[in-house]
Amino acid sequence: EGDFELLVYDTQRKLWHRQDATEVVGFARRNGHMMLLRRDGMLLDSSGSVGQKESAVAWSVQSGELGMYTPEHKYLARLELRMKLEEGAVVKAFVRYDNGETWEQVGTVTGTAEQTRGAVMQLRPRRCGHLRLKLMGLGRCRVYSAAAVYEKGSDGL
């Protein structure tokens, strides 16, 4: 009926019991206790104690080397990342070209309440032999897809 139920399993009686209507989005074990993360960001201990609201988590992810050439001499014109961000979350994209030492910021997107269908970050890297992509963010984000758009080029860079 659309309502949430938190069920617990009694291992001795081998029965499931309805505990309450808590909407849990994540579980983890810590010091022998089960920790539950509620949808509203509150952290609960299986013993019943309530923790403080979790703050936005800083995160990053980095790709391996991505080759940019095709046999038809096409080059990467645009990389489109489709993602869903919570309101207020921020994601920045950085690129490192051809084994370079520095990361260049090439895009950023911020989650808003109006982005009900997610956001598209369009990255336009310069022409190169290969690159690495790094995403850094603050807050919840889910990347759904990455699409590469190629254009016809010449034999040289």
pLDDT at 1: 67
Q: For 25-70, write each residue's pLDDT tens digit.
A: 888 887 788 888 888 878 888 766 666 666 777 889 998 887 766 7
pLDDT digits (tens, 9 = 90+) for 56-108: 778 899 988 877 667 777 777 888 999 999 888 999 999 998 888 899 999 99
Q: Are 118 and 82 in contact (CB under 8 A)?
A: yes
pLDDT level of residue 126 (50, 70, 90 thresholds): confident
**pTM given for the model:** 0.62
Distance CA 108, CA 90 (A): 7
Looking at the predicted structure, is the pLDDT value of residue 157 above 60?
no
